[in-house]
Structure 1
Amino acid sequence: MLVSTFDPFHNLALSASVAAIPILLFLLCLTILKMEGIHVDLVNLSIILWKPKYIFLLNGREMKIEKHSAGKVIKAWSP
């Protein structure tokens, strides 16, 4: 069994709280700020696209390699 752990801050609680930012932002925008659904989605999309590059410090090359690797795994498992 392959178990891969990505812990960029070397602290599980801190990494989990940073990963929860889009979920909490989504709920905050819908309930407290009372934004429309499409605007909430656009705000969350921008945060989701911004987070790997500036918080987790991943560059585009590393993200492309992961996509390419996942594609090989999916092709290997598909009939």
Structure 2
Amino acid sequence: MTVALMWEARAAEGRGAELLEWARAQWLAADPLRRETFAASGDRVLVITWWDADPDADLPELPEPDAALVQRPVHRWRFESVGVEP
């Protein structure tokens, strides 16, 4: 089964590049099948990791950045793959 963990944060004013650099530098205790990092308007950063695991498995996640680096707490979601299409 494939599980995707999504981590999303919004940078404090003017600190988007720093948050992106911080997210890219974070290493997990185990290697996911895949990891992608995205940036969006509003200085938002999104990291998605894919794991071969059960939906309720204990998986490593990116930590909370320093509070001064973000506008609000990190949002986290967990999804279970229900199909892959070309």
Which of the pair has more CA radius of gyration? Answer: 1
Q: Which of structures 1 and 2 has the larger relative contact order (alpha carbons within 8 angstroms, sep 6+)?
A: 2
TM-score, normalised via structure 2 length: 0.27
Tell me which protein shows more strand as a share of its residues.
2
TM-score, normalised via structure 1 length: 0.29
